[in-house]
Amino acid sequence: MLDLKYLFAHRELVAAQLLARKQSIDLSELFALDAQRKSVQHSGDALRNQQNQASQVIAERKRTKEDASDLLAAMKNIAAQIKQSELDCAQIEFQLTQLALGLPNLLDDSVPRGATADDNRLMRTHGTPRTFDFPIRDHVDLGDSLGLLDFERAGKMSGARFVIYRGAGARLERALINFMLDLQTREHGYTEFQPPLLVNAAAMTGTGQLPKFEEDLFKTTNGWYLIPTAEVPLTNMHAGEILSADQLPMRAAAYTPCFRSEAGSYGKDTRGLIRQHQFNKVELVSLAHPDHSFEELERMTGCAETILQRLELPYRVVQLCSGDIGFSAAKTYDLEVWLPGQNAYREISSCSNCTDFQARRANIRFRDAEKKVRFVHTLNGSGLAVGRTLVAILENYQQADGSITIPAALQPYFDHTAQIAP
């Protein structure tokens, strides 16, 4: 959530940021409520001043044994007005907070301005897409012919956008999870967690999924939500806490299934594993000192890149423009892996610095060297989306005979098998 004091002091800047994000949000109601709040607070202060003055006069009359019944009656009326003023102020504060929860984070100055993904900034590429001397097949055809993926039987049980991993397909998915977790925990210093898959509304609000994106979530009948990413529980582990500066950065990693309704993606990526209601992901989260959070973003992005480098998959890094960046993010890098079956780069990881936006919502703070209590900066990134990594391996490592070569880095996690054969 944005700092309301900052927002009201920098109205034009916030309006310009919303315009850059292509957000049609009218701030006039927010500003009107702020003016109303100030008016109510001013009236309340005046009433409290009257109350204090009357109290002094009553005390003096009691001392001199004069009648104070008229003032006592007036005091009751003033007290009632003060109580109503406080209730009115609390209601306005609630309305302000609800409106503020719908506002996105402020963008870092380095974010390129643009409307769509076409305006994202290419930062670097790694590896060269393979040249094939036989017809390229996509992961759906490969998964079907090798008996790795079963969309039809998953559809009978669950509907569209679900899959059953079978045999070597299930083993490959599990091998990728273990490989990713081992690399991030053993080499990059992340602590592994196994968080809950169900969280309450407060946790979803803390990381920015609620209230704006409720239609993208799966909600149970008793009010819990299935997590769309492990970012939610990993970030909210420290909600309401005050950490010490020497605990930062705190780096967490977790494998979890993720659940998304994909409400706004009708007709998009209906074939295969790219956009599923349930998918596996290894998530990275950092709680960082505000002075070093952008350094932490560069580090986190590098940690995610290492997975693709070890698997020898071609990819590129792009910085998202203002019109393509996520709601909670101040700056984001996407890793896009090359998929021969689509003849395109597709997102496989998104690494974001959310600055103090989530920390304000979840009230995650730290005490700095001067003993001042400040909000931490939160960061999150995919390290990586497991299903999409499996897609990249099937398509990039396919052979003319229909087999799949297992990347060398993954073979120790696959019983040292070098190939998935037809």
Tokens of 150: 């079963």
- Strand order of the β-sheet with 225-226 is 198-199, 225-226, 218-219
* Peptide bond preceding 211 in cis form (omega within 30 of 0): yes
Active site residue 21: no
Q: Which of 37, 251, 260, 346 is catalytic?
A: 260
CA distance 370 to 352: 28
Is the CB of residue 199 less than 8 Å from the CB of residue 227? Answer: yes
CA distance 24 to 7: 17
Tokens of 174: 């599990």
Q: Which of 85, 350, 352, 382 is catalytic?
A: 350
Q: Which of 21, 286, 388, 395 is catalytic?
A: 388
Active site residue 347: yes
* Cβ within 8 Å of residue 90, ≥6 positions away: none
Active site residue 171: no
Name the region of 67 (left: φ>0; alpha: ψ -120 to 50; beta: rest).
Answer: beta
One-letter identity of residue 170: A
Is the CB of residue 318 less than 8 Å from the CB of residue 344? Answer: no
Q: Which of 61, 214, 347, 403 is catalytic?
A: 347
How buried is residue 306: exposed, middle or buried, by Cβ count under 10 Å (0-12/13-18/19+)?
A: middle
Tokens of 364: 């995650």
User: What spatial distance separates the first Cα and last Cα of the chain, rounded to whole Å?
Assistant: 52
Residue with tokens 């006039």: 28
Active site residue 275: yes
Active site residue 260: yes
Torsion angle in degrees (nearest 10) through CA of 148, 153, 158, 161: 50
CA 186 to chain CA mean position, Å: 25
Sign of CA dihedral 231, 237, 239, 241: negative
Q: Which of 275, 310, 316, 374 is catalytic?
A: 275
Catalytic residues: 260, 275, 347, 350, 388
